[in-house]
Amino acid sequence: MEQEWTGRWNHAISFLQGVCKILVIGAGGLGCELLKDLALLGFKNIDVIDMDTIDISNLNRQFLFRAKDVGRAKAEVAAEFINKRVPGCNVTPHYDKIQNFDEAFYRKFHIVVCGLDSIVARRWINGMLIGLLNYEDGELDQSTVIPMIDGGTEGFKGNARVILPGLTACIECTLDLYPPQINFPLCTIAHTPRLPEHCIEYVRILLWPKENPFGGVVKRIIPAVASTNAVIAAACSTEVFKVATSCCLPLNNYMNFNDAEGIYTYTFEVQKKEHCLACSNIPQTLSFSENNKLQDIIDYLVESLAYQMKSPGITTSMNGKNKTLYMQTVKSIEEKTKENLKKTLKDLGLVDGQELYVADPTTPSSVSFKLNLGSSMEH
Amino acid sequence: MSDRWWLDKLAMHMPKTHFIRLWGDHGQSALENARVCLINVTATGTEILKNLILPGIGSFTIVDGNKVTGEDVGNNFFLTKDSIGESRAKVASELLSELNEDVSADYVEEHVENMVQSNPDFFRSFSLVIATNICERTLLQLGENLWNMNIPLLICRCYGFIGYMRLAVKEHTVIESHPDSVLEDLRLDRPFTALVEYCDSLDLETMSKKDHSHTPWLVIIYKYLQEWKKTVRIRKNESGGLEEEENFDEAVNHVNTALLPTSVPSEVKKLFDDPSCTELNVESKPFWIMLRAVKEFVMNEGNGALPLRGTIPDMTSDSKRYIELQQTYRDQASQDVTIVTEKLQTLLQSIGRGELVSVSNPPSPISNLEDEDSDNETVFYVLLRTVDKFYEDYNRYPGWYNDQVESDITKLKSCMSKILQEWGISANIKDDYVHEICRYGAAELHTVASFIGGAAAQEAIKVITSQFVPFNNTYIYNAMKQTSVTIEL
């Protein structure tokens, strides 16, 4: 079939078509828009990863899906639709988790675009792209930088940002931009509920896991709006286009959008964090006293604004052997190491300067911390 | 049928309940009754419609007399290669209607220039008209017609990296503005009788430890306010130190905002004095009649204060007393509502009306653009107008032909000086901008269209549902820097 016609590429630049490989992460509300935008900008080699299947409730904004597609993989349906509607565009779907792909896979792409609703997944991809960087004599080899364009929406608010791993602020540098969820005190929801929200939280936290009436989990969400997804995906795709063509300087490096009252955008540069866990190359230290328990370290990694980990597991090296101090993610190991949580760092045989390796779902590779047993609880 | 058929049934209604959480069922029903007209199938136009069809507008009608070209298909997701040569209006309306079968689709294969001349009444039946890529002369005429029919007009245009949007609404009134943050309305400075009685019924001195630490902070502030001039006693624990009670900490933290004097905001006072409010007639909008009723409340029963809002913030408390306190506020508020409703009925009768939203001013001519250097984006407004002037003079856009870009720059500059002279303003617009505009060659970049498509759809929903506050009245998006500005023209 003839796939070219006069005027088709008057809007874009033909350079994009053969060379550039783009990875889109997420085929939901943002993902559908991103795929459409990138295809119409003239990108031809696009991969898309999504682990979800289509639910009927998606149809009011995820415009590549129809009622007949309910139950099928989002990535596959989205790819089929785009490939059919935009002849010559080649979207390759991956119905899978991002965690199931290795470095060699991610290294194939020139640009990664994220349309995710999960902060953990964003942090994981960020960690992966930073892991691909090569440093020679402390100098970053710029050919190993894969730009990450990240979009996020919630109701009438959204943001778009451009991350050049190793060069500009990364997701971990700005973790405090994602404020921890408001959690009502357990005693309020159990004993002195006052608001409808308290009752819903009671069901969500205490009753649902016990009774599990329909299977599945209850999520706390602000309804997504088609128009906000369109705006943010469009801004992200424009940035992909700029990075790919150098037609003008990319966004430096964060844009906020809100159209609840009038239309408001605010564009500014978020700063790299000097001691960033992911991109600074500065060893992280954990300061505790030898009388602190292992549980204290775990709690700190979860609760501190700088780390916000989800279920950290800690290993160390003792007498030349690897020793798992605690691991939550594998049940048999969890049971064997549970006792360690109550032990003091001294009893565990940990010394000042000890290296701890922390694994967590928020990062693809474990992070090493130096244990500082000098003083008390100063972090 | 599976044993969980009812779950599917439930899910069928989910797409709608999803939006009801944002704009309520009356908002959704306004949307479902809305009739939207799109003029011209551009990428911007179809993207706007897509974002209106998904949440479920009632119907849309596309007006476009052109045939699909290869170039159109190149940047528009709702045109296909197979349809080159067919009617743009027909093809786009068919592909768009696939998005939501509840939305009725229609099209008219005619040029808007002719429609405006031959059948101006055609537009009368719409709740909103959206015009994209429409030439200035036709726009002015259409704008005037719609203005007189009191139909909102949203004008959108994407030119290279620049997006432009303008809203022309004769009067738009918003009752539910859904503000992000508001100060509470607690009346601690002038407590109403029921609040006094409730607070007096509670005795902090004699209550149990548990009750004491679960007394809402509102009550605590009230109590201490009454005792302010007397000795302030704070409960000590057995060892003589201060008790650690969260509710007392909360009271200290909130005392600043809770004790603001109750007054009528100056903007509201201004509206009270507006002739539309003081001189009601049979044509008056519901907004003004309601406002007048509120004004009369303030002047009489309200003793200079607005009706009570009737809500209180969340605070540490046992459930029972929180609910009691909340109820006290609610009851007072509903009493106020009853009074305002009565006044409303009387007003309606007095002007001879049975049934029952506006903050606006007519669009002034563009001549008041004096602060041309204040914002980069404002410059693009001047440039877009210059481009129109260019089109009027040469019947093509600057930079349209690659080999004429250089000569077009000179021509465009002279168009610009003519325009600025006409407006009587001296603006210092850098050559770089003129070059940039020529470089675009009037291309409609899909992602700029998609950005404006999202933003415009949201504004359309605000206008249709009379909820949230629309932009006033000109919006310019600069995709080069990802910045934007709203200016009032």
Nearest residue to A102 (alpha-carbon basis) of A49, A181, A30:
A49
- Determine the residue type at A117: D
Position A26 scores a pLDDT of 96
Nearest residue to A62 (alpha-carbon basis) of A39, A29, A95:
A29
pLDDT band for position B180 (cuts 50, 70, 90) = low
Radius of gyration of chain B (CA): 29
Position B105 scores a pLDDT of 96
- What's the whole-number mean pLDDT along residues B263-289? 83
Nearest residue to B48 (alpha-carbon basis) of B147, B141, B131:
B131
Q: Which of A57, A235, A248 sits opposite B15 (nearest CB)?
A: A57
**pLDDT at residue A282 greater than cutoff 70:** yes
Minimum Cα–Cα distance from B55: chain A residue: A60
Position B367 scores a pLDDT of 37
Q: Tell me the shortest Cα–Cα distance from B425 to chain A, in angstroms.
A: 28
- Surface of A (25-64) touching B: CB under 8 A: 33, 36-37, 40-41, 55-57, 59-61, 63
In this structure, the number of other CB atoms found within 10 A of the CB of residue B205 comes to: 8
In this structure, the number of other CB atoms found within 10 A of the CB of residue B353 comes to: 16
**Tokens (6 digits) for A283:** 């060893």
Q: Which of A41, A66, A251 sits opposite B482 (nearest CB)?
A: A251
Average pLDDT along chain A: 88
- Decide which of A80 and A186 is more confident: A80
- What's the whole-number mean pLDDT along residues B340-358? 72
Dihedral pair phi/psi, residue B268, rounded to 5°: -70, -40
- Surface of A (247-306) touching B: CB under 8 A: 248-249, 251, 255, 259-265, 267
Identify the residue whose tokens are 């308290």. A198
Q: Which of A103-112, A129-138, B279-288 has the lowest mean pLDDT?
A: B279-288
Position B392 scores a pLDDT of 85
Spell out the residues 6+ positions from residue A200 whose beta carbon is closer than 8 angstroms to its own.
none
pLDDT tens digit sequence for B228-246: 745 555 565 666 566 677 8
Position A293 scores a pLDDT of 93
**pLDDT at residue A283 greater than cutoff 70:** yes
- Determine the residue type at A90: N
Which DSSP category does B237 fall into? -
Angstrom distance (rounded) from CA A266 to CA A258 = 9
**Tokens (6 digits) for B129:** 């008209």
- Decide which of B173 and A348 is more confident: A348
Identify the residue whose tokens are 């029952």. B356
pLDDT band for position B368 (cuts 50, 70, 90) = very low
Angstrom distance (rounded) from CA B110 to CA A342 = 79
Q: Which of B50, B450, B470 sits opposite A234 (nearest CB)?
A: B450
- What's the whole-number mean pLDDT along residues B283-294? 82
Position B58 scores a pLDDT of 93
Position B355 scores a pLDDT of 45
Position B371 scores a pLDDT of 43
* The A111-115 sheet, strands edge to edge: A90-95, A45-50, A21-25, A111-115, A148-154, A157-163, A254-258, A264-268
Going by DSSP bridges, is the β-strand pair B474-478/B162-168 parallel, antiparallel, or unpaired? antiparallel
- Decide which of A187 and B480 is more confident: B480
Minimum Cα–Cα distance from A154: chain B residue: B22
Q: How many CB pairs under 8 A join A and B?
A: 192
Q: What 3-state class would DSSP assign to B18?
A: helix
Q: Does B15 contact A223 at a Cβ distance shorter than 8 Å?
A: no
Q: CB–CB of B77/B121 below 8 Å?
A: no
Helix-helix angle B376-394:B405-423, to 10 degrees: 110
pLDDT tens digit sequence for B381-430: 889 989 988 988 888 889 888 778 888 899 999 888 888 888 877 777 88
Going by DSSP bridges, is the β-strand pair A313-318/A355-359 parallel, antiparallel, or unpaired? antiparallel
Position A362 scores a pLDDT of 93
- Decide which of B240 and B1 is more confident: B240
**pLDDT at residue A310 greater than cutoff 80:** yes
Q: CB–CB of A288/A373 below 8 Å?
A: yes
- Decide which of B132 and B418 is more confident: B132
**Tokens (6 digits) for B268:** 């509201």
Radius of gyration of chain A (CA): 23
In this structure, the number of other CB atoms found within 10 A of the CB of residue B392 comes to: 12
Minimum Cα–Cα distance from B71: chain A residue: A7
pLDDT band for position B145 (cuts 50, 70, 90) = very high
pLDDT tens digit sequence for B210-226: 888 888 888 888 888 87
Q: Does A87 contact B81 at a Cβ distance shorter than 8 Å?
A: yes
Tell me: cis bond preceding A159? Omega within 30 of 0 counts.
no
pLDDT band for position A112 (cuts 50, 70, 90) = very high
- What does each C-alpha distance from B94 to A164, B116, B380 come to in angstroms? 42, 24, 35
Angstrom distance (rounded) from CA A62 to CA A237 = 17
Position A218 scores a pLDDT of 59
- What's the whole-number mean pLDDT along residues B105-117? 94
Dihedral pair phi/psi, residue B270, rounded to 5°: -60, -40
**pLDDT at residue A79 greater than cutoff 50:** yes
Angstrom distance (rounded) from CA B423 to CA A85 = 46
Dihedral pair phi/psi, residue A150, rounded to 5°: -120, 130
Average pLDDT along chain B: 82
pLDDT band for position B473 (cuts 50, 70, 90) = confident
Position A378 scores a pLDDT of 46
Identify the residue whose tokens are 């100063």. A378
Instruction: Find which of A7-21, A123-137, B159-173, B289-303 is predicted with most confidence, using mean pLDDT.
Output: A123-137
Angstrom distance (rounded) from CA B195 to CA B218 = 10
Which DSSP category does B120 fall into? G
Instruction: Note the Cα A172 to chain centre separation in Å.
Output: 10
Q: State whether residue B245 sits within 8 Å of chain A by CB.
A: no
Position B10 scores a pLDDT of 40
What residues in B contact A61, CB-CB < 8 Å? 54-55
Angstrom distance (rounded) from CA B133 to CA B384 = 12
Position B451 scores a pLDDT of 97
Which DSSP category does B2 fall into? -
Put simply, whether the predicted model's pTM sits higher than 0.90 gets the answer no
**pLDDT at residue B370 greater than cutoff 80:** no
Angstrom distance (rounded) from CA B207 to CA B13 = 49
pLDDT band for position A260 (cuts 50, 70, 90) = confident
Q: CB–CB of A229/A64 below 8 Å?
A: no
Active site residues of A: 187
Q: CB–CB of A241/B455 below 8 Å?
A: no
ipTM score of complex: 0.86
**Tokens (6 digits) for B453:** 């498509």
pLDDT band for position B179 (cuts 50, 70, 90) = low
Angstrom distance (rounded) from CA B462 to CA B167 = 12
Nearest residue to B48 (alpha-carbon basis) of B442, B363, B378, B448:
B448
Position B13 scores a pLDDT of 44
Which of B446, B474, B481 to mutate against chain A (most A CBs within 10 Å)? B446
Position A32 scores a pLDDT of 97
- Surface of A (192-221) touching B: CB under 8 A: 192-195, 214
Position A298 scores a pLDDT of 93
- Decide which of A26 and A10 is more confident: A26
**pLDDT at residue A13 greater than cutoff 90:** no
- What's the whole-number mean pLDDT along residues A185-197? 78
Q: Does B481 contact A233 at a Cβ distance shorter than 8 Å?
A: no
**pLDDT at residue B84 greater than cutoff 50:** yes
Position B249 scores a pLDDT of 78
Q: CB–CB of A12/A41 below 8 Å?
A: yes
Q: What is the longest distance spanned by two Cα atoms in chain B?
A: 91
Q: Tell me the shortest Cα–Cα distance from A155 to chain B, in angstroms.
A: 8
- Surface of B (76-95) touching A: CB under 8 A: 76-77, 80-81, 84
- What's the whole-number mean pLDDT along residues A188-199? 79
Position B25 scores a pLDDT of 72
pLDDT band for position B11 (cuts 50, 70, 90) = very low
